[in-house]
Amino acid sequence: MQESKRYAARAGLVQALLLPLLIAACDRPAPAPSPTASAAPGEATVARPAGPERLVLAFGDSLYAGYGLDRGQSLPDAIQARLRRGGINATIVNAGVSGDTTAAGRQRLGFVLDNLPRKPDLVLLGLGGNDVLRQIPATETRANMTAMLDDLHRRGLPVVLTGMKAPPNLGADYVTAFDAIWPDLARRDRAALYPFVLDGVIGNLALMQADRVHPNPAGVARIADRVTPLVAARLTPAG
């Protein structure tokens, strides 16, 4: 019972923090469908991957872990399916942990990397939403993200960043400092960047779970359609 009360309180706080983003998203015109739009969720497809296996680590929070979704419906699962349909023999290891802040991710990143079957060909990195929830200072979020990227750089691992944005009700100073983290680090590290992981999804009730924070399978499909080309470009040799 206490756990249920804590969850309800936390869910209420999440909605209060993200409501301005929801409203703003509703005010924007709907984005055009991706040219790589996939089959509807649950539709059977035949994967025909080819070439050497590409190992990808998806390291993030509940948006990667697949909070509220059935097994096989997470964002890493959806990206893996699209890569394979596109002919890339990719296996994505889902290391998403619901509730993780950037500080928690920083603490476990090395352990996860050291326990993979081999060095990954790419890391998909997505954290920051829980930092907003807890209103962690943007300087701390930046320091944690920087430390993780420094570790990945030392290991010679290319990165695709899926960014996060702060809702405007946290104040202009916080929003400016927080939102700048991902583009700044992407430029510094020459990492591929999808600026806001929930872009075009949050605020659309048809694409969100009842908590209005986490995407449903249709929302995951929308995100995967947009992120997959970035991942595929990093896994495909130039030329």
Residues marked active site are found at: 62, 211, 214
Which is nearest to 135 in space by CA: 97, 169, 182, 181? 169
Alpha-carbon Rg for the chain, nearest whole angstrom, is 17
Task: Compute the C-alpha angle 56/57/59, nearest 5°.
Answer: 150
Q: What's at 233, amino acid-wise?
A: A
Long-range contacts of 37-43 (CB under 8 A, 24+ apart): 37/225, 38/78, 38/81, 38/82, 38/85, 38/221, 38/224, 38/225, 40/218, 40/221, 41/73, 41/217, 41/218, 41/220, 41/221, 42/217
Asked whether 90 and 37 are in contact (CB, 8 A), the reply is no
